[in-house]
Structures are given as structure tokens and as C-alpha cells.
Amino acid sequence: MNSSQLKCLFVFAIFAIIGFGPVSPGCLIGMYVVIRRPDWFLTLVDNLYGNPVPKRLITSNKVRIKAFLCLLTLFIIDMAPVPVTPVVAVVIILNRPQWFLHVVKGVYSVRV
């Protein structure tokens, strides 16, 4: 487990605690990332996976729309008494699945 994983786990543990309300901070940050595509998130994923993510090469609005709709669905589900997004985030942080890396590359318009 690298330091980026530990930091992300700590942040999402806090999100799980404060997420017992009508607002899901993890989903809001995720929607911000999908819309604005900040460089810090690409660097975070690079550190999380331990391999460099190439710079932006192509445009993929379809992946961005799907990712935003998934996050919006999670945001709506998180309004229930049990926060779901932090649990999903912890699984992604610990397992580092390839599909998540492909989604990030698609959102950031990086050639897969």
C-alpha cells in the first residue's frame, strides 16, 4: 500500500462519517473532476496506480457523460441513511481495478 492509497483511505473515511446527511462530498468532488478535469486528480491516479498516465490526446465526451451520470446516481443513492460512495471508493482505492483507470483516461481524454 502506497502513501496515496493511505491518504485517500483517510479522506474517504472522513467522508463516510460526514456523509450521513443529504450531501455526499465524494460524489460532489467526483462530479467536479468529471466536469473540470483538474490536473491534481490525474496526478493522484498516477500516484495511486504507480504508473504514469499519459497526457490528454483525444476527446471523449461519451465517457464523461456516463461517469457524470453514474456519480449523479450515487449522489441520489447516498441520500439514504447509509453512504454508498465511500464504500465504493475504498474498494477502488484498495483494489485499483483497471476499469477505473480506463474511466479516468476516458474522462481526461487520454488514449487507452
Say if 82 falls within a structural domain. Answer: yes
Say if 50 falls within a structural domain. Answer: yes
Say if 112 falls within a structural domain. Answer: no
By CB neighbour count within 10 A (0-12 exposed, 13-18 middle, 19+ buried), where does 47 fall? middle
Say if 92 falls within a structural domain. Answer: yes
Say if 10 falls within a structural domain. Answer: yes
By CB neighbour count within 10 A (0-12 exposed, 13-18 middle, 19+ buried), where does 66 fall? middle
Domain region containing 29:
3-107
Say if 98 falls within a structural domain. Answer: yes
Helix, strand, coil percentages (3-state) for the chain, rounded to 5, are 70, 0, 30
Residue with cell 498516465: 53
Give the pLDDT confidence of 4-22 residue by residue, as tens digits.
999 999 999 988 887 666 7
More confident residue, 98 or 110: 98
Domain count, the chain: 1
Say if 81 falls within a structural domain. Answer: yes
* Model confidence, pTM: 0.83
